[in-house]
Amino acid sequence: MKSVLITGATINTGVAIVEKFASEGKNVVFTGRDPVKVAEAEKSYRAKFPNVDIIGCAIDSLIDERTVDEDGVAELFEFLDTKGIFVETLVLNAADQGLGQKIFENPITDFMKVLNTNVVWNYCLCKHAAARMKENGGGNIVFINSNTAYRAIPDRVAYVASKGGQLGLMRALAIDLGKYNIRVNAVLPGMIRTDRWVKNPDFYATVPSRYTPIGDVADGADIADAVWYFAECARNTTGAELVVDGGNTVQLYPIIK
């Protein structure tokens, strides 16, 4: 059975991506680290989309500053093999946000943990998914990256570095996997309307109108549409980036009215 696998999909953008694919009739596997949240999300997705197969997998792989548990990733794919599930599309949505990391205050281990999650762990997922795509005639991988790969923001040094590294990973995988009919692309959101943003009223008063020519930030559904494009509509596209940020990246300075 063909499925899309979406990481970190119990809240926020991951939910919108699950809903997009399920509403288009695709079977979905999603992950999260908390078994209770995964079970709740699975129940709610299944009630909303009774005509597709939706499976939640709780995986709390060991990721710290020194190691990434590749065995945990291998076990996830072996479990899907036992269920007869082939991950035709892998969407790498989960991310360690590395919020508030300050150069002179945070230990280097904080930096390393973010890099290990956002680059090394995602590489492991790509490796195990791609091995199966290669055997099944192809597939595709979509990174949820960030426009911070190009334009940095304060106190997020590890996150910004990790998103830059992710783009290099995306391009290298596109080169190495193209011959197996595996496409690898990246969506670069700017600000997305998640609970984190909604809890910050100052943000809504200033940022969308001043920092995006379109005057609004993205909804999760806007990101999900871009993922859908790469996965289902872009047969000849690999190693590409699609920026979904209301024009935030190309605007040089804030608009003051």
Ligand X SMILES: NC(=O)c1ccc[n+]([C@@H]2O[C@H](COP(=O)([O-])OP(=O)(O)OC[C@H]3O[C@@H](n4cnc5c(N)ncnc54)[C@H](OP(=O)(O)O)[C@@H]3O)[C@@H](O)[C@H]2O)c1
Nearer to ligand X, 33 or 210 (CB): 33
User: Which of 143, 125, 10, 144 has the alpha carbon at shortest distance from 68?
Assistant: 125
Q: Report CA 1 to chain centroid distance, whole Å.
A: 23
Residue whose pair of structure tokens reads 């399920």 in the numeric block: 22
- How near is the Cβ of 97 to ligand X at its closest, in Å? 5
Distance, in Å, from the CA atom of 5 to the CA atom of 28, rounded to the nearest integer, reads: 6
Give the interface with ligand X as residue ranges (CB under 6 A).
8, 10-14, 32-34, 37, 63, 93-97, 117, 144, 146, 189, 191-192, 194
| 45: annotated active-site residue | no
- How near is the Cβ of 34 to ligand X at its closest, in Å? 5
Phi and psi at 241, nearest 5°, equal -125, 135
- How near is the Cβ of 141 to ligand X at its closest, in Å? 14
Nearer to ligand X, 34 or 78 (CB): 34
| C-alpha distance from residue 167 to each of 15, 27, 81, 93, 195 (Å) | 23, 27, 29, 14, 26
Catalytic residue among 45, 123, 159, 211: 159
Rg (CA), the chain: 18
Nearer to ligand X, 199 or 235 (CB): 199
| C-alpha distance from residue 100 to each of 1, 32, 55, 103 (Å) | 42, 23, 34, 10
- How near is the Cβ of 15 to ligand X at its closest, in Å? 8
Phi and psi at 23, nearest 5°, equal -70, -20
Nearer to ligand X, 97 or 106 (CB): 97
- How near is the Cβ of 147 to ligand X at its closest, in Å? 7
Q: Which helix (H) or strand (E) holds 142?
A: strand 139-144
Nearer to ligand X, 77 or 86 (CB): 77
For the annotated catalytic residues, the residue numbers are: 159
